[in-house]
Amino acid sequence: MTDRNTILATVFENPTDDTARLVLADLLRESDVPEEQALGRFLWGGITAAAYRDDDLIDDRLFYTAQAEFAAVASAGFPAQWLASLGIGPSPLTKRDWSWDNTRDRVTVRIGDALGTFTRGMLAELSLTLGEWYAVAPKSLASWPLEQVAIRDVPGLVFTFEKNADDWLLAAQLKVPGRRVSLLGSVIPSGVSSSAMLVDGPADWRIEARLPSRALLVADSASTSASLVADLREVAGDRWPSPPRKRR
């Protein structure tokens, strides 16, 4: 569908503009293809609900119509399948593999330990391991206007994607909490040891890469992400976070 691809490209190039999203939603809702129609309903519901983000009390029937639309689509499993098509979760995906919830226009889908959050009707955030991100990065960015990715096995590491006037920005940011280090060289939890300690305050490092087009952002997303991680590892040194312990 040429019109669909043209409008979708406009959505990607103007991620903060809802006009193209609404045009795409109207087009898809008229489709005879069930998945496209579901995306159109979900997109319309998300954009409509987003207009009420700052309202404490909502008595507009349109908001609840929008909620019902994307709740129906989410309950039918379409967002979970959209994530699965990127390579997230088991294949084939069953109803026991996923769950979802929402607040206003934010719809969060969980598949295993991975999370995908849709805002304004489209996938905007992911939470997954670093290896999973490298594997799904190009397809994810080619399919959705992603805004950020949180790396689950490197606590504090987040990738963001931003449109500038002349290029695209892929940034990696690492935040680590403060710590106390024994002068003998070992890391000591705060308050455990009475011996002399060196106190390291919280740290926040950010490294950026600029790409001249969205096409290059998509094509180079995995390799650029890996390069930024390598630079952050060098900067962070022994403060690079360890994976969180798995719950028993």
In a domain, 76, yes or no: yes
Task: Match 């680590």 to its residue by tokens.
Answer: 176
Domain coverage including residue 6: 1-98
**Number of independent structural domains in the chain:** 2
Q: Are 146 and 232 members of one domain?
A: yes
Same domain membership, residue 94 and residue 186 = no
Same domain, 32 and 91: yes
Report yes or no on 118 lying in a domain: no
Does residue 86 sit in the same domain as residue 159?
no
Among 77, 98, 119, give the residue marking a domain's end: 98
157/78 same-domain check: no
Whether residue 167 sits in one domain with residue 82: no
187-188 β-sheet, strand order: 187-188, 179-182, 197-200
pTM for this predicted structure: 0.90
CA–CA gap between residue 110 and residue 144 (Å, rounded): 17
Whether 109 is covered by a domain: the verdict is: no
In a domain, 178, yes or no: yes
Q: Indicate whether 90 and 149 sit together in one domain.
A: no
Per-residue pLDDT of the chain (248 residues; tens, 9 = 90+): 458 889 999 999 999 999 999 999 999 999 999 999 999 999 999 999 999 999 989 999 999 999 999 899 999 999 999 999 999 999 999 999 999 999 989 999 999 999 999 999 999 999 999 999 999 999 999 999 999 999 999 999 999 999 998 999 999 999 999 877 766 655 555 455 555 666 778 999 999 999 999 999 999 999 999 999 999 999 999 899 999 887 65
